[in-house]
Amino acid sequence: MKASPVPLPSAPDSLSLARILLQIMERVTEFLEVERTALFIHDDATGEMWSPVAEGTGEVRVPRGRGLSMHVFETGETVQLADAYSDPRFTGSIDRGTGFHTRDLYCRPVCDSTGKRIGVIQLLNRRRGPLTPREETLLDAICGQAGTAIENAQLFLRLKKVHDSEHTLHTALEAKHAELQRAFLRIEENAAAHALLSRRIQTTRLVAMLAGVALFVAIGLFAWLGIGGKKSSAKATAAPAAIAWHTVAAAPVRTGIPLLGNIEPLEIRNLTAPFRGRIAEKRFEYGELVTKDQLLAKLDATEVEVDFRNTEAAHFRAAAELSRLENWSKGPEVARAERALAKARLNFEANERNLREMDALFKLGIIAQASLDSARQQFATQEADFRAAEDELALVRAAATAERVTSARYDVENIRLRLVDLKAKLARTEIRAPFSGIVILPSTRPAAGRPSGFDGFYEQGMTINQSDILLAIGNLEGVAVKTRADEVDIARIRHEQPVIISGDAFSGLKLAGKIAYVSSQAVVAGGRPYFELIAKTGQLSAAELATVRLGMSARVDITVYEKASAVIVPVAAVRRAGGNATVFRRDAKGAPETVKVTTGVVLADAVEIRSGLSAGDVVAANAKQVP
C-alpha cells in the first residue's frame, strides 16, 4: 500500500512532519528493496488504525479488531508472510481498492520513546528474499526515529491546543472584567449625579421662594416710594447721585468647566498565578493598603521544579543525540563499518591472489581440480562478504540523514523553549505588589475572573490554577476621576489640561491633576451625546490618601483659562456701545474721562481688562452713574 502524504491534524509543523516521514518511508523502500511501504498510526479516540503517510493511495483507516496491522498493534509481535493471502488476518481490502497485489508482507510495531506502541509499519513485496538481521537492525533505528517524530508532533499539538484555549479564556476573562468594572463605575457615577442634582433642585426651590418674597417686598417699596416721590416733586427736584469710584487692582483670574465623577485608582492590575500550585504563604488581606514590592504571596513550586529537572535531563539527552548525528561521519558506528570493510577487503585481496596461484598450479598439473574449485568457492564467499561490507558502510553513512538531523535539532529547540518557560515560572513563585495601592475585594471584581462557584477569596493552602486571578491591586499612589463632558464643552478640553479635583466628602482638600484621557467617540446617554474623560492626579501625600477613598463622588474643575495677575474691574464699570468697550477713569482734577479698553474673560462680578488700564487707576464703579 503506497500512499501520497496525508496531512496530519492542522498545526504549524504538521506538513513538515508528513514530509519527513514520507522521506523516511522512501528511504526504507529504497534501502530494503520493497515495492511499497506504509505507516499506520493508532487513533486513541476511535480505536482505528490510519495511515497519515503511505505510498500509492490516500488516507487509509482500519477498523478496530480487523486487519493484520491491527493484530500487530494489539499483540506487539512482528509478522512476516511469504504469501499474504494465505493468512486469514490479511483482508486484501486495500489491494482491491488500489489495484495493487500484495505477495509477501513484513509488519512490525512502531513505539514512542517510552516503549508504548503508537502504530505499525508494513513492507510489501520484498525483491530479494526475507530481511537479514542487519536490515532488521536498520529498520529498528528508522522506526525509532519515526516514533519519536510522531510523539513530538502529537505533544506539540496537545500543547498548542492547551495554549490556544488558555489564551482564549484569558482574553474573555479580561473583557468581562473590564465590562463589569465599567458598569459598576457607571452606577456609582449616576448615583453621585442623582444626589448632586437633588441638592441643586432643593437649592433652586429655596432661591425661587426667596426671590418671590423679595419681589413682593420690592413691589411694596416701589409703590410706597412712588407715592412719596409724587408728594415731594412739587417741592424740589432730586439731586444727582454721587459717583462711586473703584481702584483698579491686579488679581488672579481663572475659568473652568465643572464636571462630576467618582474617585478611582490610577490603575487596576490583576495578579495571576504563573502556574498551577498550592499557596504556600499568604501575606495580604483583602481591602488593606500595600506598598510597592511588598511580598503578597508565595506559591509551592515543587511540581514545576520536578518538571524543570526532567526537562533539563531531556535537554541533555537531546543535545547529545544531536551532537552524535552532526558528527556521524566520525562516530563509532561509521568507524566499525569502515574497519569491517577494510578487513573484508584484505581477505578478498588475499583470496584473489590465492586463486591466481591455485589456477597457475592447476595448469601445471600440480594440484587437482577439486582444490581449484575449493579455492574458487572460497574466493566467491570472500567477494560476497566484501560487497556486503561496502553496502553496510554505505547504509551506515546514509543513516544520519538531513531529515534526521533536523528532527533532532527540533527536539533540542523545543526542549530549550520549555526550559525557558519553566525558568520564568520558577522566577515568579513570589508574587509582589507592582505599586503602592489597595488589595481590591473579590466582590468588586468580575466573576468571570474567578473559577465557577468560587467567591474569589484565596487562603493559604488552597490550590490555584495557572492564569487564575489571585488578587487585584488598585494603584493609590494617586487617584483618577472618570467623568463625561457635553459635546458643547469637549472642544475646549485637551489632553494634559490642568484640573482641580474636589468633593463634598473631602471638603477643604483640592487635588491638582491633569486630563489623562479624552475620548474621540461620543456615547449616547439619555438621548444626548457625551465624551468620556479621565483626570489623574500626581503622587498624593499620606494625609491626602487617608482622606480620599475609592468610590467617593468628586468634582472635576477643568482649567480653561488662567492668569496669575490680571487687571480686573467690576462688570458695571464697563460701558459697551457700537462694539467698543469704555470705562470712566478719574483724571488729575477728579473728573471722569472716557478710556477705551479691551476686555477679556467675564467672571461672576468682574471682568478682565487686557489693555487700556493699569493697576492703581481709579474708575467709576458704575458707568451708568456718570452723566
Give the domain ranges of the chain.
14-158, 269-300+429-475, 306-424, 479-625
Cβ neighbours around 128 below 10 Å, total: 9
Rounded to an integer, what distance in angstroms lies between the CA atom of residue 360 and that of residue 231? 176
The CATH architecture that domain 479-625 belongs to is Beta Barrel (2.40)
Q: Which three-class secondary structure state does DSSP give residue 25?
A: helix
Which residue has cell 468647566? 257
Beta bridge partners of 568: 249, 608
Rounded to an integer, what distance in angstroms lies between the CA atom of residue 254 and that of residue 566? 10
Report DSSP letters for 437-457, one per residue.
EEE--GGGS-GGGS-TT--S-
pLDDT recorded at residue 191: 66
- For residues 394 and 338, the answer to whether their CB atoms sit within 8 Å is no
Give the residue ranges of DSSP H helices in 32-86. 68-75
Q: Which CATH class is domain 14-158?
A: alpha beta
Rounded to 5 degrees, what are φ and ψ at 51?
-110, 100
pLDDT tens for each residue of 102-149: 899 999 999 988 888 999 998 998 988 888 888 888 888 888 888 887
Rounded to an integer, what distance in angstroms lies between the CA atom of residue 122 and that of residue 427? 49
Q: Which three-class secondary structure state does DSSP give residue 575?
A: strand
Rounded to an integer, what distance in angstroms lies between the CA atom of residue 268 and that of residue 262? 15
* 70-104: b (≥16 Cβ within 10 Å) or e: bbbbeeeeebebeebeeeeebeeebbeebebebeb
In this structure, the chain runs to a length of 627
- For residues 276 and 464, the answer to whether their CB atoms sit within 8 Å is yes
Sign of the four-CA dihedral 289, 291, 293, 295: negative
Output the nine-digit C-alpha cell for 64. 478496530
Which residue has cell 523553549? 417
Q: Which three-class secondary structure state does DSSP give residue 621?
A: coil
pLDDT recorded at residue 11: 38
3-state SS of 204-261 is: HHHHHHHHHHHHHHHHHHHHHHHHHHHHHHCCCCCCCCCCCEEECEEEEEEEEEEEEE
Same fold, 14-158 and 269-300+429-475: no
- For residues 120 and 108, the answer to whether their CB atoms sit within 8 Å is yes
Q: Which three-class secondary structure state does DSSP give residue 279?
A: strand
pLDDT recorded at residue 231: 43
Angle ∠(514,518,519) on CA atoms, nearest 5: 160
Cβ neighbours around 323 below 10 Å, total: 13
Rounded to an integer, what distance in angstroms lies between the CA atom of residue 377 and that of residue 371? 10
Among 178, 152, 133, 143, smallest CA distance to 14 is for 152
Q: Which residues of the chain fall below pLDDT 50?
A: 1-14, 227-239, 444-447, 449
Rounded to an integer, what distance in angstroms lies between the CA atom of residue 24 and that of residue 39? 10
Output the nine-digit C-alpha cell for 517. 484621557
Rounded to an integer, what distance in angstroms lies between the CA atom of residue 478 and that of residue 264? 9
CATH topology of domain 269-300+429-475: OB fold (Dihydrolipoamide Acetyltransferase, E2P) (2.40.50)
In the DSSP assignment, the letter for residue 59 is: -
| Radius of gyration, alpha carbons of the chain | 47
Which residue has cell 475585594? 441
pLDDT recorded at residue 452: 57
Q: What is the pTM of this model?
A: 0.44
Sign of the four-CA dihedral 311, 316, 322, 324: negative
pLDDT recorded at residue 151: 81
Output the nine-digit C-alpha cell for 528. 444626548
Rounded (to 5) percent helix, strand, coil in the chain: 45, 30, 30
- For residues 20 and 149, the answer to whether their CB atoms sit within 8 Å is yes
From start to end of 73-136, where are the E strands? 79-81, 105-111, 117-126
Rounded to an integer, what distance in angstroms lies between the CA atom of residue 495 and that of residue 479? 17
Strands ordered across the beta sheet of 268-272: 268-272, 469-475, 437-439, 289-290
Residue type, 500: I
